[in-house]
């Protein structure tokens, strides 16, 4: 609370915008089915397939759990090198000043944008521990993800 801020003003400021309550690694899977072959293929460029998705769950009282799902599959000379699946999540509180129609965008775009660097670090660490160079995921455009969900009719405009 600021020096000149009253308790009422502090309570009111908590009702505005977006507050991150907690963030955590919810699930991590690393598969290295052809470890010896993949590690022997040093210098050969793997085919990398990346899938990113966001799920959110309303916990009531304008609190939401947002899950950022990141899945990466590396193929080297037609064989699976490794598979990483990471679910990094955050618990957020949405202020009463945020209109209901803006909540989905806030969750899918803004919260995911905040969680992404942490998920990126988990994926990079997993690939290193699997014996590969760190896989550094490029920044992701979550607005495109939101637009695709709207196009498929998964969410309302």
Edge-first strand order for the sheet with 63-76 is 18-31, 79-94, 63-76, 47-60
Which H helix or E strand runs over 141? none
- Name the residue with higher pLDDT: 7 or 40: 40
Contacts of 64 (CB under 8 A, 6+ apart): 56, 57, 58, 91, 92, 94, 103, 107, 111
Separation of first and last alpha carbons in the chain: 37
Residue with tokens 């989905």: 104
* 18-151: CATH, from 3.30.410.10, 3.40.50.300, 3.40.50.720, 3.10.420.10: 3.10.420.10
Note if the pTM is more than 0.85: no
Q: Is the pLDDT of residue 157 over 70?
A: no
Kindly report, residue by residue over 31-62, the tens digit of the pLDDT.
998 877 756 666 678 899 999 999 999 999 99
């Amino acid at each position: 609370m600021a020096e000149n801020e009253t308790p009422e003003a502090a309570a009111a400021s908590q009702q505005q915008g977006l507050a991150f309550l907690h963030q955590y690694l919810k699930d991590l899977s690393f598969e290295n089915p052809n470890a010896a072959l993949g590690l022997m293929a040093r210098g050969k460029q793997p085919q990398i397939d990346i899938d990113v998705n966001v799920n959110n769950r309303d916990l009531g009282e304008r609190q939401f759990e947002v899950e950022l799902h990141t899945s990466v599959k590396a193929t080297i000379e037609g064989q699976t090198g490794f598979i990483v699946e990471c679910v990094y999540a955050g618990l957020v509180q949405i202020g009463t000043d945020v209109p209901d129609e803006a909540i989905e965008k806030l969750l899918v775009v803004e919260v995911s944008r905040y969680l992404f660097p942490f998920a990126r670090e988990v994926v990079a660490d997993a690939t290193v521990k699997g014996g590969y160079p760190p896989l550094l995921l490029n920044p992701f455009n979550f607005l495109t993800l939101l637009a695709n969900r709207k196009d498929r009719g998964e969410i309302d405009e």
